[in-house]
C-alpha cells in the first residue's frame, strides 16, 4: 500500500511538472511571437533609452564625413538605427549595447533592412570594449559618460572622428556642431571632434627649438632661434598641425615623434622637419 501511494505521488508530481513545463514553453512562445518592444525612457546600465531621430542620425553621418571606407562603432546602439543607417551607406558598422533584448531587436532590424552582413551588434559594456579599430565613433550618452570615456577616446588613432548626439566632452571643445530643425523635436544637436595627435614636449627643428604645450586640439608654446623665443599658437586636426610663429605659418603632418611640413611667410618659405626629443 505504501509503495502504491509513493508511485501515485510520483506520477502526480511528474504530471504537474510536465504541465508547468508546457505552460512555461507556451508563455515563452507567446512572448517570442509578440516580440520585444522598447519603451522610451526604459532603464539601461548607464543611461535611459531615448531614440535618436532619423533626421539627426543622417546629420551625424554628414557631420562625421562618413563614407563606405569607414569602420564605425556606435556606443550604446539602442535599436540599431545609427548602425543600420551607416551600413546602408556601405560602412562596416558595429553596435555596442548592454541590453540583450535591444541587441536582438537590432539584429532583427538589420535583417529587415538587408544589411546584416555589414551591421554587427554586440552585448557588451562600453568601458570594457575595444573599439580601437574604429575610425568613426558615434554615441548618444550623457556628458558624464562621455567624460569617463574621454581618456580612452583620446588614445585612439589620431584622425578618428567622434560624433555625439546632444552631449559634450566638457572642456574638450568640439571642432564643429550642427543643429537640426526639420524632422527632429528633441535632442537635435550633434557635436563633432577629431582625435588629435599628441604633440606636447620639446622638438628639434633644424637650428631651432620648438616647445609645445597641448590642450586637446589647441597648441601653444615657443619657437626659439638664435636664443630668441617667439610665441607659438596653433591647432591640430588629427595628424595635421598648423601653427604661427614670428609671422610665419607652419603646416605639418605628425607621425609619432616626427613631423614634416612646410613653412610660409616672414621672408622665406620651404619645407621643414622636426623630431621630438
In the predicted structure, residue 141 carries a pLDDT above the cut 70 = yes
Higher pLDDT, 49 or 269: 269
In the predicted structure, residue 92 carries a pLDDT above the cut 60 = yes
Based on the fold, state whether residues 83 and 163 are members of the same structural domain: yes
Chosen domain end from 133, 168, 194: 194
Total domains present in the chain: 2
pLDDT (mean) for 6-31: 38
Q: Lowest-pLDDT range, 16-25, 124-133, 198-207, 256-265?
A: 16-25
3-state secondary structure 217-266: CEEEEEEEECCEEEEEEEEEECCEEEEEECCEEEEEEEECCEEEEEEECC
For 271, the domain range is: 201-276
| Residue 39 maps to a domain | no
Q: Where are the alpha helices (DSSP H) in the chain?
A: 2-34, 54-63, 81-88, 100-113, 143-154
Q: Please state the separation of Cα 172 from the chain's center in Å.
A: 15
In the predicted structure, residue 87 carries a pLDDT above the cut 60 = yes
Based on the fold, state whether residues 172 and 208 are members of the same structural domain: no
| Helix-helix angle 81-88:54-63, to 10 degrees | 50
Based on the fold, state whether residues 58 and 151 are members of the same structural domain: yes
Chosen domain end from 194, 229, 252: 194
In the predicted structure, residue 20 carries a pLDDT above the cut 50 = no
pLDDT (mean) for 161-177: 98
Angle at 20 between CA 17 and CA 24, to 5 degrees: 135
pLDDT digits 0-9 by tens, 21-58: 343 334 333 334 357 787 665 666 667 778 899 999 99
The whole-number pLDDT of residue 245 equals 95
Based on the fold, state whether residues 126 and 250 are members of the same structural domain: no
The whole-number pLDDT of residue 35 equals 74
Chosen domain end from 154, 175, 194: 194
214 vs 232: CA distance, rounded Å: 11
The whole-number pLDDT of residue 45 equals 63
| Residue 18 maps to a domain | no
| Residue 189 maps to a domain | yes
Based on the fold, state whether residues 271 and 157 are members of the same structural domain: no
245 vs 187: CA distance, rounded Å: 41
139 vs 87: CA distance, rounded Å: 16
| Residue 23 maps to a domain | no
Q: Tell me the backbone φ, ψ of residue 26, rounded to 5 degrees.
A: -65, -40
| Residue 10 maps to a domain | no
pLDDT digits 0-9 by tens, 190-232: 999 999 999 999 999 989 999 999 999 999 999 999 999 999 9
197 vs 178: CA distance, rounded Å: 24
Based on the fold, state whether residues 66 and 190 are members of the same structural domain: yes
The whole-number pLDDT of residue 268 equals 75
Based on the fold, state whether residues 234 and 159 are members of the same structural domain: no
Which residue shows C-alpha cell 575610425?
A: 135
Q: For the chain, give the mean pLDDT.
A: 88
CATH number at residue 224: 2.40.128.30
Where does the pLDDT of residue 175 fall: very low under 50, low under 70, confident under 90, or very high at 90 and above? very high
Based on the fold, state whether residues 87 and 128 are members of the same structural domain: yes
Q: Cα–Cα distances in Å, from 39 out to 31, 137, 213?
A: 16, 25, 47
Based on the fold, state whether residues 168 and 230 are members of the same structural domain: no
- What pTM did the predictor assign? 0.84
pLDDT digits 0-9 by tens, 55-65: 999 999 999 99
Based on the fold, state whether residues 66 and 158 are members of the same structural domain: yes
| Residue 239 maps to a domain | yes
| Residue 24 maps to a domain | no
Based on the fold, state whether residues 156 and 232 are members of the same structural domain: no
In the predicted structure, residue 14 carries a pLDDT above the cut 50 = no
Amino acid at each position: 500500500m505504501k509503495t502504491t501511494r509513493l508511485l501515485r505521488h510520483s506520477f502526480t508530481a511528474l504530471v504537474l511538472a510536465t504541465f508547468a513545463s508546457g505552460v512555461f514553453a507556451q508563455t515563452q512562445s507567446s512572448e517570442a511571437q509578440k516580440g520585444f518592444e522598447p519603451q522610451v525612457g526604459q532603464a539601461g546600465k548607464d543611461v535611459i533609452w531615448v531614440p535618436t531621430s532619423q533626421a539627426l542620425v543622417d546629420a551625424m553621418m554628414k557631420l562625421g564625413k562618413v563614407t563606405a571606407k569607414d569602420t564605425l562603432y556606435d556606443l550604446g546602439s539602442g535599436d540599431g538605427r545609427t548602425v543600420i543607417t551607416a551600413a546602408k551607406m556601405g560602412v562596416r558598422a558595429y553596435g555596442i549595447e548592454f541590453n540583450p533584448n535591444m541587441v536582438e531587436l537590432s539584429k532583427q532590424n538589420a535583417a529587415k533592412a538587408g544589411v546584416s552582413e555589414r551591421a554587427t551588434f554586440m552585448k557588451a559594456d562600453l568601458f570594457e570594449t575595444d573599439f580601437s579599430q574604429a575610425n568613426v565613433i558615434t554615441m548618444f550618452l550623457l556628458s558624464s559618460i562621455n567624460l569617463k570615456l574621454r581618456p580612452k577616446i583620446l588614445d585612439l588613432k589620431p584622425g578618428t572622428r567622434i560624433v555625439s548626439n546632444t552631449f559634450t566632452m566638457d572642456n574638450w571643445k568640439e571642432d564643429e556642431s550642427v543643429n537640426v530643425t526639420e524632422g527632429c523635436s528633441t535632442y537635435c544637436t550633434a557635436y563633432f571632434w577629431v582625435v588629435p595627435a599628441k604633440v606636447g614636449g620639446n622638438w628639434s627643428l633644424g637650428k631651432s627649438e620648438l616647445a609645445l604645450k597641448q590642450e586637446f586640439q589647441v597648441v601653444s608654446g615657443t619657437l626659439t632661434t638664435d636664443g630668441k623665443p617667439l610665441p607659438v599658437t596653433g591647432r591640430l586636426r588629427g595628424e595635421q598641425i598648423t601653427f604661427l610663429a614670428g609671422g610665419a605659418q607652419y603646416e605639418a603632418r605628425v607621425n609619432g615623434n616626427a613631423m614634416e611640413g612646410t613653412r610660409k611667410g616672414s621672408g622665406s618659405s620651404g619645407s621643414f622637419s622636426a623630431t621630438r626629443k
